Amino acid sequence: MTVLTVSTTPFDDQKPGTSGLRKKVRVFQQPHYLENFVQAIFDTQPDLKGGMLVLGGDGRYYNREAIQIILRMAAANGVESVMVGKGGILSTPAASHLIRHFEAQGGIILSASHNPGGPDEDFGIKFNTPNGGPAPEKVTEAIHARTKTLSQYLILNGEEVDIDSPQQFQLGNMGVDVFDSVYAYAELMQELFDFDRIRNFFDSTHFRMRFDAMHAVTGPYARYILEELLGAPPGSVINAEPKPDFGGHHPDPNLAHAQELVAMTQGARGVDFAAASDGDGDRNMILGHDFFVTPSDSLAVMAANATLIPAFNGGISGVARSMPTSQAVDRVADMLEVPCFETPTGWKFFGNLLDAGEISLCGEESFGTGSNHVREKDGLWAVLFWLNLLAVKGQSVADIVRAHWRKYGRNYYTRHDYEGIDKAAADKLMKQLKEGLGSLVGDEFNGHRVSYADDFAYTDPVDGSVSKNQGIRIGFKDGSRIIFRLSGTGTEGATLRVYLESLEPDPAKHNQDTQAVMRPLIELAEMLANIKGITGRDAPTVIT
């Protein structure tokens, strides 16, 4: 085998977003497109030469072809060894664990997370640093800068290699270890949770559960852990076979895209507990019988009950949430007298806090929660946390959450997404909002008096780095908030996200319909941003 030097020219659209580079499959299939971005990773991360790389993805369309290309490029660029998931399958949290456990010099994860898959849908690639977390902005900026100057890339000539059987072999001078990551991840989970107690809980009650893997990466992990190790009845894990197009469904674990699972929790025959994870296994949705747990509430409940879980029986050092996530966890942190950090959206912002020991738990409203066991959000970890909590408390999901509300108050919360809108219109909307921020403080709208209005900026307390333009916050004196932000996870057009939050301390008012409670704030958000007038949209695409 010989190393080929292939001439290329830069592409002008290879700037990573909050979770790597995401484009339509057909974009990645262009000659040299994937290769250019991968070469930029190798060029800007010199420790990979002579080091170890972890490689895998969520199994979506083009995953296998991309892995073959990356393996040959890694060999050509002097990587000493690569650990690649069997069949190209490797969940994002499992990849983070492996990078940390084997002290690898980094990882390449092929995923577009919760975005749909298929030949006409989405693909993605991101680099994770040696701490196991998504590359921070200084790294992604360096990679992007390199993509703009590339004139060649290196790749080993040769045929495709077998990645479907666990084995070790040489590719040129590079060692390749094809392995099944399910077992290593399961071992980590057994260190964090009381598997005996969960297993006994399943055996001694009539507890019924369903986990929807959404034909995505967590299917093999969930079947092994939930059904084989914990003894959940066969069939407790549904849609367990990973498919390149996720079975034709949208692998996003929310009320809009997991309606089959939601229906299983409803009515007299509804199961006691249900959960789902997304394309690459880092997100989660938690459901009880006739009950939905918002991601913001899930994080707050975890923080309030952390000492009941073996991994945290000594307490937690602190918590963090993304800025758009509700402030429910803030009041828990206040009562526990631990720090609570508000960061921009993107898991990479939690990494420094976790590495410095400042926090033990963190989460985002976009169905992601995690802890210091890895440097990514972790869907199955969150499910096991809830199962362990249910086993200890012996209460239903609804009873646990309602008791939490009685103690801390309820943060009614909703997110309205306007997907695929014209980017110029989205930019105009945000520009006009920013220009009007200075005049809002002190104004009152239908009983809501503005206490602050800003374009959120974050100064990292560990390394002092500053991230600006992270979303517009409008906060009111009664604790309610409206937040406007353009998402960085889409592949076409722009997605405007509007986050709305209202605190209700009165337990007598904790069982109202969320959208009805939020109607005044929804109307206020429309008025302040002129969403319909600028975008032409009468209603959001998705409400969660």
Domains, the chain, with CATH or none: 3-179 (3.40.120.10), 184-408 (3.40.120.10), 410-543 (3.30.310.50)
Looking at the DSSP bridge assignments, the partners of residue 212 are 238, 276
Q: Up-side HSE of residue 232: CA atoms within 13 Å toward CB?
A: 23
Give the span between the Cα atoms of 88 and 217, in whole angstroms. Answer: 10
| % residues pLDDT > 90 (the chain) | 93
510 DSSP assignment? T
Determine the Cα–Cα distance for residues 155 and 172; give it in Å rounded to an integer: 11
Q: Report the alpha-carbon distance of residue 543 to residue 497 in Å, rounded.
A: 10
Residue 489 has pLDDT above 70, yes or no: no
User: CB count, 10 Å around CB of 336?
Assistant: 17
Over pLDDT 70: what percentage of the chain? Answer: 99
What average pLDDT does range 416-431 have in this prediction? 94
At 318-358, the pLDDT tens digits run 999 999 999 999 999 999 999 999 999 988 899 999 999 99
The half-sphere exposure of 312 on its side-chain side, counting CA atoms within 13 A, is 23
For the segment 409-419, what is each residue's pLDDT rounded down to a tens digit?
Answer: 999 999 999 99
Closest alpha carbon to 495 in 134, 122, 50:
122
User: Measured between alpha carbons, how far is 330 from 55 in angstroms, rounded to an integer?
Assistant: 36
Q: Of how many residues is the chain composed?
A: 544
SS3 category, 349: helix
What does the alpha-carbon distance between residue 175 and residue 397 come to, in Å, rounded to a whole number? 47
pTM of the prediction? 0.94
CB-neighbour burial class of residue 288 (10 A; exposed 0-12, middle 13-18, buried 19+): buried
Rounded to an integer, what distance in angstroms lies between the CA atom of residue 84 and that of residue 491? 26
Sign of CA dihedral 102, 104, 106, 109: negative
Look at residue 542 in the predicted model and tell me its pLDDT. 87
Looking at residue 376, its pLDDT comes to 97
E strands, 9-135, are: 21-24, 52-57, 81-89, 107-110, 122-128
> Taking the mean position of all CA atoms in its chain, how far away is CA 52?
25
Separation CA 143–CA 43 (nearest Å): 8
Given pLDDT bands bounded at 50, 70 and 90, which one contains residue 488? Answer: low
Three-state SS annotation for 437-476: HHHCCCCEECCEEEEEEEECCEECCCCCCEECCCCEEEEE
Residue-level pLDDT at 490: 53
Question: What backbone phi and psi angles, to 5 degrees, belong to 518?
Answer: -85, -5
Sheet architecture: strand order including 273-277: 237-238, 209-212, 273-277, 284-288, 291-293
Encode pLDDT of 158-211 as tens digits: 889 999 999 999 999 999 999 999 999 999 999 999 999 999 999 988 899 999
How many angstroms separate the CA atoms of 102 and 94, rounded?
A: 12
Partners of residue 280 on adjacent β-strands? none
CA distance 83 to 57: 12
Tokens of 419: 């997907």
Mean pLDDT of 72-87: 98
Whether residue 113 lies in the annotated active site? yes
User: For tokens 């916050």, what's the residue?
Assistant: 473
Average pLDDT, rounded, for the chain: 95
Least confident span in 171-185, 243-257, 364-378: 243-257
Q: For the CA atoms of the chain, what is the radius of gyration?
A: 23
DSSP state of 341: E
Residue 474's alpha-carbon distances to 16, 180, 303, 460, 540, in angstroms, are 28, 47, 26, 22, 20
- Does the pLDDT at position 491 exceed 90? no
Average pLDDT over residues 423-452: 93
Res. 492 pLDDT band, cuts 50 70 90 = low
Q: Which of 91, 111, 113, 366 is catalytic?
A: 113
